[in-house]
Structure 1
């Protein structure tokens, strides 16, 4: 049989030499034919994959042969050809949805299997980005062209990552050096004064390798929409207007350097910075509105791999993340009263991962120590200021076992986390005694059965939880005050799936379910004052279908479909058996492309149906059906993409009263220098 050690050695030596696979899906290319087994994405996107920023195996990486989680990978070629926000690209995968408050640069979050953005763990090269001050990762602050690929794990989270979200996990793999030295410049333009410029470089110099990128994008976001003036049932007062105060500007830079000391030792340094300036439109589209929201972020991560310590391999990280957010509404044009808030978040941590390679399997151990700190002030209201600190320790143990024929594999795992908090609560400025949550233990197990090289059957079960954010514990936003007595949210996830893969086809289906309790919801008293409480509960069941098929060498199809029933189990009257807000019960994405030569013609379909804005399901969101077409051209050192998006010109509102742009066009030109 193959040992875990031989599997890793095989991956390390042959991962970059595997031939690309062409695939797609015929049945799900059209919504009326969505029956039968469909592909639940594997870790490699089918189709021609450009060798840019490949992700070679290194200790601490997730190994597809060992993981039983439902997963998919978005390759860089997909990230490069799309002008959309990163969240929109990820939402093309089954089980993934996103919400965005407007056009380019506006707030956007991603959810997996009807979990909230705060319940979805997001990583950069295996280091958690979520923290107490920023529990929801705003994907609009992330430059997708700084990434080599993105891995999505639904339901279960690999132990190499550590922390686990109730919905799953997303790992952002930063751009890495390619086999061939390359320098690229990319220019992008589009509707709404959209403009962008990016320069990237990848090279190797002996034992050193480097990848660097710098980019700037901006848009006026002055799209036209129908302003219903707060009376959706009265069309007589509707007006056609341009969106006001929605402009966005974002600048980002990435530097990643690696030094291969010898075959068993490697050092990697990643530094990423970004800054965004964003106008905040008012619900009624006030033309005099000048509210703004400016953010800045930085990530510093240093990694050292030490392998060959007997039968042990190891990886050690130190990291420092900072986030700054300043919101100004000095004239009280958007929120409840004038605000001039400034939030500063710092996360400092160290993470170590060890694995023991044996003939029957791999034993993995990890420890992550981190400290999170938030300082929040308001220049106009001293009583709104608060600060909070959290120290956390996360330990994980997992084992990957293979039988003698590699037909069966089993992956039991254990997580243990302890947190201690202290802070001062808004409106009281009174130092609180140290708040220490009970230690939380999570169990996870995965099973895989591979009767042939073409078929894999998997099953997963696990328990997960989410610590309350600093804002939920201590903050004060409008008429909602924090509650320092909150308990962690928790949940249990189950799924079972089957995958079928050939050289030109990949199909699969996954059934999933989740029970969630102690969910944090806001309750209001008789005076109209709100407070977060552990009063929510939910049950989510669903099915994910996806696949790809190469009809001919020139025609490829791809489609993903998700149906889910995310229902509240809240005991409060009016909320029980209602659908969770913001989550579509049915979503479908399809793409067909024709590539006769250097030109590729493509069409995309995106459908979202049956979702609500509120917990009581009184405010339904309109169903959406978006159509997009485009043409790609590649010749020698030039690549060009022209697309027309949302052809039907619909202003979709993921957040009630905050429309997104209608029909837009985009053009990008890339030159390899």
Structure 2
């Protein structure tokens, strides 16, 4: 698809022309049918009520998964833990509650995944990747994961898109309190209040979670071939983590067809940086503060029938402070204080004048700025990095054969303008304004000949522009490169769903399969160009091929079973000989997630298993990460409801108690092959980790009390 925007314009005009010829005057008979929602294979936490489709989620040909996060608020769980249970999704962590966590979809890098909060993109030029632990799960209602193809107005990314939906009141008046305590000095509290009255709705939430993070781990003292100095129960130090967040939302609906809402979110964090397990850090610390403000206006059938629109203005301000005055982390002493500011306007118009066609026009204007500061050199002024972006998008959606066939095509043209810095970033580069024109095109097809079977497929071209760090460096150990090209990904997927309902006690049986392939070029890497500096260059290419399998079984609306399996080959096609043909680090060859949930009127018993293997730490595939098999078990009961079920009567039936054990078998170590092997040593003992040297915790216990009024 060489000219995606042009093709989409032609489809848009064609659809409108057909409408003008066949239906010059709209009538009630031509009232458009409600568009088909995306095929979603839901995880274990499924709402019994029919879910209302929102404009952000409307994508009939995409592979999407909807995760209900509201039922996980009683547990000590991170957003990454919840997302990684879905097929094709992997979240890596540095270990412990609140630790750094990055998301990968279908083998992508974390910077190739677009994260949105209520439709607002959180990725910015200061840092392409998003730390999932900065998004408290307790402030979120649900997450919609688009693996590959996503609605055009949500943007596009090489890996995929995740849209997080914040909480809002579901009842006329609700007050809720929750407190959780557990292993390693962990404490979590929530207070929320929301309600509706007349034309107004409101919701307030205050959330805190903190931990000492002093869990035991296996430390080999950096000598994997010698077992004499191993410490099987070393204690993690300087791993404390404290996060506080508030969420405030208010909405006003003057008429049925128009709604205005205002959202404010504050997240503050203060944490230690423990370093790798072999070389402990005692003083390094990190802190961040993020403010988000959004004004959203939405209307439907106003001023025309079949017309839906929405517009939002948003601001995101973030500060990040990193202190390593003893030089325990990285190279030398560090004391940085970085500020970023993002402001944007995003609008969407969706028009469905007839039952067989719908057109979408969206526009996104955005300005990003990043201001670094080195507190160790207060007289050295770092110039502000900034850029503008404009993103017009067109999408056409056709329904044929009584909506059994859906055909979709979209085109997006992103214009990026990066003003010149006042001084050169390195000798030989003169300051000049940089502009990029980035076309993105997508097309999809879905066929559902019968209600129980569906097949679908998509193709697309996506891009990731360089970050400020990659373009301009930090004027220290990393050197920017203003001549960088954007990363480009060509992807395709195909698969289907087989679903049966009401087979005796089997309320629902569903199987889903997807094949995907992505070819990424011009991948950006930092390579060493001197003894003390590294420069960003376009040097790598990757071919990623994989299979996703999902299964869901609902037995009598009491027992829910689900499984997600991913098998993936992520092959590095780098120009570096030692890396070419090897598996990309951090992309496991296989990953399995199994969940079981038994729900009764007075409680719920839940179990989960996560396993993965075939994962490497380095690009040469010499250091294999230990495979893991993690089992979790929990029980939620309503004591008063249980007493009533046994014949007693008590008030306060909204009181709930949750007990949970994570990593039941206390798996903290595993044996991995030694490469190359020695005559008398074929394998070595290694701590479980996502990142080399950052151990994951073992068995932990948590108890939670929730009261709702």
| TM-score (norm. length: structure 2) | 0.86
Report what 2:453 is aligned to: 455
Report what 1:372 is aligned to: 368
**Unpaired segments ≥5 residues, structure 2:** 1-27, 502-507, 642-652, 669-687
Residues 288 and 549 (structure 1 numbering): CA distance in 2 closer, same or farther, change over 3 Å? closer
Residues 358 and 41 (structure 1 numbering): CA distance in 2 closer, same or farther, change over 3 Å? closer
Distance 1:221 1:395 in 2: 46
Report what 1:348 is aligned to: 343
Q: For 1:422, which of 419, 425, 431 is the aligned residue?
A: 419
Is 2:130 the partner of 1:133? no
Matches within 5 A, 1:17-166: 42=40, 44-45=42-43, 49=47, 56-57=52-53, 60-63=55-58, 66-161=59-154, 163-166=155-158
Match of 1:451, SS? strand
Report what 2:272 is aligned to: 279
Matches within 5 A, 1:597-608: 597-608=601-612
Q: CA deviation at 1:278?
A: 0.6
Mean CA deviation greater in 380-389 or 461-470: 380-389
Q: CA deviation at 1:377?
A: 0.8
Residues 47 and 626 (structure 1 numbering): CA distance in 2 closer, same or farther, change over 3 Å? closer
Distance 2:284 2:530 in 1: 31
Matches within 5 A, 1:199-598: 199-239=191-231, 240-283=233-276, 289-307=282-300, 308-311=302-305, 312-359=307-354, 360-381=356-377, 385-422=382-419, 424=421, 433-476=431-474, 479-503=477-501, 504-525=508-529, 527=531, 529-595=533-599, 597-598=601-602
Distance 1:235 1:580 in 2: 30
Match of 2:228, SS? helix
Match of 2:111, SS? helix
Distance 2:361 2:560 in 1: 42
Distance 1:210 1:234 in 2: 61
Report what 1:5 is aligned to: 32
Distance 1:128 1:331 in 2: 36
Match of 2:419, SS? strand
Residues 5 and 433 (structure 1 numbering): CA distance in 2 closer, same or farther, change over 3 Å? farther
For the pair shown, the structure with the greater C-alpha radius of gyration is: 2
Mean CA deviation greater in 201-210 or 512-521: 201-210
Listed one character per residue, the Cα deviations across residues 405-442 of structure 1 (whole Å, up to 9, x for unaligned) are 11101010001001011354797699963432330111
What is the number of equivalent residue pairs in this alignment?
A: 638
| TM-score (norm. length: structure 1) | 0.90
Distance 2:317 2:262 in 1: 17
Mean CA deviation greater in 340-349 or 306-315: 306-315
Verify the 8 A CA contact 1:155 1:166 in the aligned structure 2.
yes
Report what 2:690 is aligned to: 654
Verify the 8 A CA contact 2:183 2:702 in the aligned structure 1.
yes
Verify the 8 A CA contact 2:513 2:549 in the aligned structure 1.
yes
Q: Which has the higher contact order (CA 8 A, sep 6+)?
A: 1
**Unpaired segments ≥5 residues, structure 1:** 12-39
Verify the 8 A CA contact 1:275 1:297 in the aligned structure 2.
yes
Distance 1:278 1:485 in 2: 36
Listed one character per residue, the Cα deviations across residues 281-309 of structure 1 (whole Å, up to 9, x for unaligned) are 13256667111000111111111113322
Q: CA deviation at 1:317?
A: 0.8
Report what 2:657 is aligned to: 640
Q: CA deviation at 1:328?
A: 0.3
Distance 1:401 1:232 in 2: 60
Report what 1:27 is aligned to: none
Q: CA deviation at 1:556?
A: 2.4
Mean CA deviation greater in 402-411 or 389-398: 402-411
Report what 1:615 is aligned to: 619
Match of 1:309, SS? coil
Q: CA deviation at 1:523?
A: 1.7
Verify the 8 A CA contact 1:582 1:611 in the aligned structure 2.
yes
The alignment yields a C-alpha RMSD, in angstroms, of: 2.4
Distance 1:107 1:46 in 2: 26
